[in-house]
Homo-oligomer: A and B are copies of this chain.
Amino acid sequence: MMKFALSAVLTLGAAMSQASGLIQPIEPYTSPTPAKVELGKMLFFDPRLSKSGFISCNSCHNLSMGGSDNMPTSIGHDWQLGPINSPTVLNSGFNIAQFWDGRAETLQEQAGGPIANPGEMASTHTLALDVLRSIPGYRQAFAEVYGKDSIDIDQVTDAIAEFERTLVTPDSPFDRYLRGDKNAISAQAKAGYELFQSTGCVACHNGPALGGTSFQKMGVVKAYETDSKIAGRSAVTGNEIDRFKFKVPTLRNVELTYPYFHDGAVWDLAEAVNLMAELQLGHEFKAEETEQMVAFLKSLTGKQPDFKLPILPPSTVETPRPNPN
């Protein structure tokens, strides 16, 4: 018998009948504070938030590449290889929590993490603030957005988070289909969407982002084989029952966010589909069905970030210098 860990009590039948209600189109996000978005965008692209001056948020959440880095695990300060796959920042505002294990409750809380992580940007909040406070262009931008002549870390992460909220990807073919344009996706993709519902994928991959709404065990029916030592959600809750539970990743733009899973071990979307069916649902797709599923998943690629490359304000002689060591 198949097992589901969906928080809400749903039988497979109920999940099927409610499937179209379980997935919503992505709505464009119009920020009430556009100046804050522009400031957050600058910060997102600024490598001076790292100790080396070489790594920015965009290094591992590359907005030219689906908001990810397309590597199994990320490269950090001093070329350290991280322990986990970089999740896409696109549509991350829909997540119930941030990071694979949900250790940050909000986008704002998340944004402060990598800056001070010795294996990632390897700075400190104190150093990052010293950098920003030394730069007249930033002092002016923060003053305009926050109405005071001081810069603190809550402002920095608030601005980054507001920029990230704009990183939604509306207008995918699938969303146009959901909204009534029956020709927006192919017959193959439609068959894949049917399978996505009937097989039970939608039980976990739901909400506007088709994911990000719950933590689920990686390997429900059958264990996932991995070299990764990452414990998952149990590292946050301290409960052994949460071992190998991870936040369900979004399927939006999944054709852009390879390689897949928390260890980035699988590069082929078809292989990822089959593995998920096997490990989570005890199901085996026929070859034709896998192709249908992949066609459906590719219809989830929406409008990518559409803005001008930000120009960063220059440092001054007072600015703490980049330190690659």
**Selected interface stretch from A23-31, A75-83, A91-99, A203-211:** A75-83
With contacts A305-B309, A314-B66, A314-B256 known, is A54 near B71, CB below 8 A?
A: yes
Q: Decide yes or no whether A310 CB sits under 8 A from chain B.
A: yes
In the assembled complex, how far is the CB of residue A56 from the closest CB belonging to chain B, in whole angstroms?
A: 9
Contact status of A53 and B78, CB under 8 A, knowing A258-B315, A308-B308, A309-B305:
no
A244: Cβ under 8 A from any B Cβ: no
Residue in chain B with minimal CB distance to A66: B314
Report the Cα distance A66→B59, complex, angstroms.
18
Closest to A309 in B: B309
Q: Smallest CB-CB separation from A325: which chain B residue? A: B81
Complexed CA–CA distance, A63 and B310 (Å): 9
Asked if A181 is at the interface (CB within 8 A of a chain B CB), the reply is no
| Nearest B-chain residue to A323, judged by Cβ | B71
Q: Mark A115-131, 1 if CB is under 8 A from B, else 0.
A: 00000000000000000
User: B314 and A267: CB pair below 8 A?
Assistant: no
Complex: chain B residue closest to A270, CB-CB: B317
Of the residues B71, B267, B312, B314, contact of A53 by C-beta under 8 Å: B71
CB closest chain-B residue, reference A78: B79
Q: How large is the interface on A (under 10, 10 to 19, 20 to 34, 35 or more residues)?
A: 35 or more
Given A307-B308, A308-B306, decide whether A69 and B45 contact each other with a Cβ distance below 8 A: no
CA distance A324 to B312 in the complex (A): 28
Assess whether A287 is interfacial by the CB under 8 Å rule.
no
Do residues A312 and B54 form an inter-chain contact, with CB atoms below 8 A?
Answer: no
Kindly identify which residue among B65, B81, B305, B317 contacts A324, using a CB–CB cutoff of 8 Å: B81
A47-B62, A54-B71 known; A267-B79 Cβ under 8 A = no
Instruction: Tell me if A291 counts as interface (CB < 8 A to partner B).
Output: no
Expressed in whole angstroms, the Cα–Cα distance for A45 and B62 within the complex equals 10
Given A54-B75, A69-B54, A79-B78, are A304 and B308 neighbors across the interface (CB < 8 Å)?
no
A154 within 8 A of B: no
Asked if A317 and B268 make an inter-chain contact with CB atoms under 8 angstroms apart, the answer reads: yes
Chain B neighbourhood of A256, CB < 8 A: 314
Chain B nearest CB: distance from A86 CB in Å?
11
A307 touching B304 by the CB < 8 A rule? no
Q: Which residue of B lies closest to A73 (CB)?
A: B324
Residues of B within 8 A of A47 (CB): 62, 65, 69
- Report B-chain residues with C-beta under 8 Å of the C-beta of A46: 64
- Contact, CB under 8 Å: B65 / A59: no
Q: Within 8 Å of chain B (Cβ to Cβ): is A38?
A: no
- Determine the chain B residues whose CB is within 8 A of the CB of A53 once the complex forms: 69-71
Residues of B within 8 A of A78 (CB): 79
A64 contacts which chain B residues (CB < 8 A)?
45-46, 309-312
A45 to B215, CA, bound (A): 35
In the assembled complex, A284 has its CB within 8 A of some CB on chain B? no
For residue A258, give the distance in angstroms from its CB to the closest CB of chain B.
Answer: 7
Q: List 8 A-B contacts (CB under 8 A).
A: A46-B64, A47-B65, A53-B71, A54-B75, A64-B309, A78-B79, A255-B314, A307-B309
